[in-house]
Structure 1
Amino acid sequence: MSFADIAGQDAAKQMLQNALRRNSVSHAYIFSGQAGSGQMKTARTFAQALFCTTLEDDACGQCLECRKVEHGNHPDLHLLAPDGSSIKIDQIRDLQRVFSYRSESKNPKVYIIDQADTMTVQAANSLLKFLEEPPIPAVAILITENGQALLPTIQSRAQLVPFTPLSPGLMLQTLVDEGYPSPLARCAVHLSSGLDGCRELMEQNWFAEIRNVVLQLGKEALGRGSSALVTAGQKVFKAGLSDHLDTLLNLFHLWFKDMLHVQYGKHESIVFIDQLDFLSTHALTRSTAQWVSYMDLAAECRKKLRYNVNSQLCLEQFLIGLEG
């Protein structure tokens, strides 16, 4: 694992690598940014670089220290995550007990606290004392979506490392490089926040099925003598996909938006690029205003679902609205 393997986040990586080169690593960092922006991967890479015996400002991935981190058994790296919905004081106390023993190497010990903003007040206060007076050389990395949610006293004692949301293009390239199907990845990056959310969505079997249903309904609803209502009954409700209507309607929103992209020649923005022939043929069969009204219709249907309107009735009204 190397800093080069982390998608985007050039500013964050430069900040950390500069600290390694100058031997000016802080005792505490706050990695703040949208979930799935690479905070955990960066934290582990930073710890690995601290331990690495080969490189000065990165992890070689080959030395014994690097391999221990990659295998999850480095004695000087400790990960802490919420126990249930929060990080509790007993977890911080356990961490303090572990850090009461000196490292066998010359390196500082490193601890990574995921979702640090979920710490209880007691846990946060206990951590504060630990940050101020660690019994041995230590580096703390607190991962959070919102650094401002941490106690001001913790913020003042740690260096903020901001993580920016990844662009859809960068997420798409990363996911495709990881082996995910491009058609699914194109949809996922517009429906999820961060790479982790995209991966989680694409690993659900129903996601590919919902996408296929949207394509079929989207094509049928635009034709004469539409059979979209019959298809919806069979492919959505009888197939057990009715719990995912929100995703279905979000995909419809992207489908209609693609029609607008075709109208304005913005092919680089098309999500359903594998359907370009159909989109190109049908984009001009409706006015821009009509496609926008369909997007509004999908948004209205999603709103009705949130108010517990019957899901089958809601989808049928949506499809009838497209035919009208």
Structure 2
Amino acid sequence: MSFQSIQDQDRVKRILQNSLRTDKVSHAYIFTGPSGTGRRQMALTFAQALYCQVLPDDACGECLDCRKVEHGNHPDLHWVKPDGASIKIEQIRELQKQFSYKAGSSGLKMYVLEDADKMTVQAANSLLKFLEEPTSRVVAILITDNGNALLPTIKSRAQWIPFTPMSRERMAAILNQEGHPAVLIQPAVRLAAGPDAARELIVGNGFAEIRNLVIQLTKESMSRLPTAMLTAQQKLGKSELSEHLTLFMDMLILWLKDMVQLNLGNRDHLVYMDQADWMAGLALSYDMKHWVHCLEQAIELQKRLRFHANPQLVLEKMLMQLKGV
């Protein structure tokens, strides 16, 4: 693994490689940006480059230290993930204990916190002291979806490294080249921030099935609403309803955006491009206000799901909204 093997994020690579070349590596970085933008891979590559015995500003991937980092057994690199829902103070204390021991031949110790915004207040305060008073040469990387959720005092002591989503066009080109179905690429690149995350969606459990279910339920809800309700119960089994319903609502929102475009007579850049003929006829059978209202309702119901609204009621309400009941 090397910086050159990472797709996109050229600005981030320039910043990190320049710090290696000029020997001006910061003692702490905040890798912030949406999931799927390659933050974890960048942290791993940066760690390899820091310990690499061959290259001054990249990872050769072949030397002993590079291989130890890649396989997760480098003695001076510590990776911390949430224990359950949060990173706890005990985890930070254990990290501090590990850092009280002498580093290896490089003289550098490094730690990476995944989901750093999930630290408890006590853990964050303990980490702050650690950032202020490192006992040796230390590099820290805090990975987070939302850097603004970190304590201001932590943010002020770390270099901010923003990760930006890859363009849909570039993601689609990469996934097309890999041979994934076009009908799955289009929704995936709109729901993911990078090709790795989009690929995971496409090959993941249920993505194609959920797309087909959106098509089936939207068709049925317009002509046979009771059948649509029954289909929803059968296909989205009650025990797994909440898990699959979030993805279903994401895909439904994309379908509704297509319906708005088709109502306007626009067939460019549709997500459900293979369904455009029957969707166009349906789109024109209602006025624009109906589709905009359905879209607003879907976004609102998606928010409610995050706050543990009843999944069955959410789904039934959405299907009735589509019909205009």
Q: TM-score, normalised by structure 1?
A: 0.79
Structure 1 residue runs of 5 or longer lacking an equivalent are none
Residue 131 of structure 2 is matched in structure 1 by 131
Residue 236 of structure 1 is matched in structure 2 by 232
8 Å CA contact 2:31–2:39 kept in 1: the answer is yes
Give, as a single letter, the amino acid of the residue that structure 2 aligns with 1:236.
A
8 Å CA contact 1:229–1:316 kept in 2: the answer is no
Distance 1:183 1:55, change over 3 A: farther
8 Å CA contact 2:30–2:147 kept in 1: the answer is yes
Give how far 1:247 is off.
Answer: 4.1
Give how far 1:19 is off.
Answer: 0.6
Count matched residues.
Answer: 318
SS at match of 1:59: coil
Give how far 1:237 is off.
Answer: 1.4
Residue 116 of structure 2 is matched in structure 1 by 116
Residue 80 of structure 1 is matched in structure 2 by 80
Q: TM-score, normalised by structure 2?
A: 0.79
Q: Could you give the per-residue CA deviations for residues 53-104 of structure 1, whole angstroms, max 9, x where no partner exists? A: 3322222223332222222222222101122222223222222222233333
Give how far 1:279 is off.
Answer: 4.8
Q: Could you give the per-residue CA deviations for residues 224-276 of structure 1, whole angstroms, max 9, x where no partner exists? A: xx34642552x321234462455434433322322443566755521113334
Give how far 1:24 is off.
Answer: 0.9
Q: Could you give the per-residue CA deviations for residues 102-152 of structure 1, whole angstroms, max 9, x where no partner exists? A: 333225221111122233333333323332333332211112233333333
- Is 2:325 aligned against 1:318? no
Distance 1:7 1:279, change over 3 A: farther
Distance 1:301 1:320, change over 3 A: farther
8 Å CA contact 2:221–2:319 kept in 1: the answer is no
Residue 143 of structure 1 is matched in structure 2 by 143
8 Å CA contact 1:51–1:107 kept in 2: the answer is no
Q: Which stretch shifts more, 265-274 or 72-81?
A: 265-274
Q: Which stretch shifts more, 196-205 or 134-143?
A: 196-205
8 Å CA contact 2:92–2:126 kept in 1: the answer is yes
SS at match of 1:112: strand
What does 1:45-84 align with in structure 2 at a 5 Å threshold? Answer: 45-84=45-84
Distance 1:213 1:93, change over 3 A: closer
Distance 1:5 1:282, change over 3 A: farther
Distance 1:106 1:307, change over 3 A: closer
For the aligned residue pairs, the C-alpha RMSD in angstroms reads: 3.5
Residue 154 of structure 1 is matched in structure 2 by 154
State the distance in 2 between where 1:253 and 1:184 align. 15
Give, as a single letter, the amino acid of the residue that structure 2 aligns with 1:318.
Q
Distance 1:68 1:176, change over 3 A: farther
State the distance in 2 between where 1:312 and 1:25 align. 51
SS at match of 2:135: coil
8 Å CA contact 1:301–1:318 kept in 2: the answer is no
Distance 1:271 1:127, change over 3 A: same
State the distance in 2 between where 1:179 and 1:219 align. 29
SS at match of 1:122: helix
SS at match of 2:235: coil
Give, as a single letter, the amino acid of the residue that structure 1 aligns with 2:321.
F
Residue 207 of structure 2 is matched in structure 1 by 207
Q: Which stretch shifts more, 262-271 or 58-67?
A: 262-271
SS at match of 1:269: coil
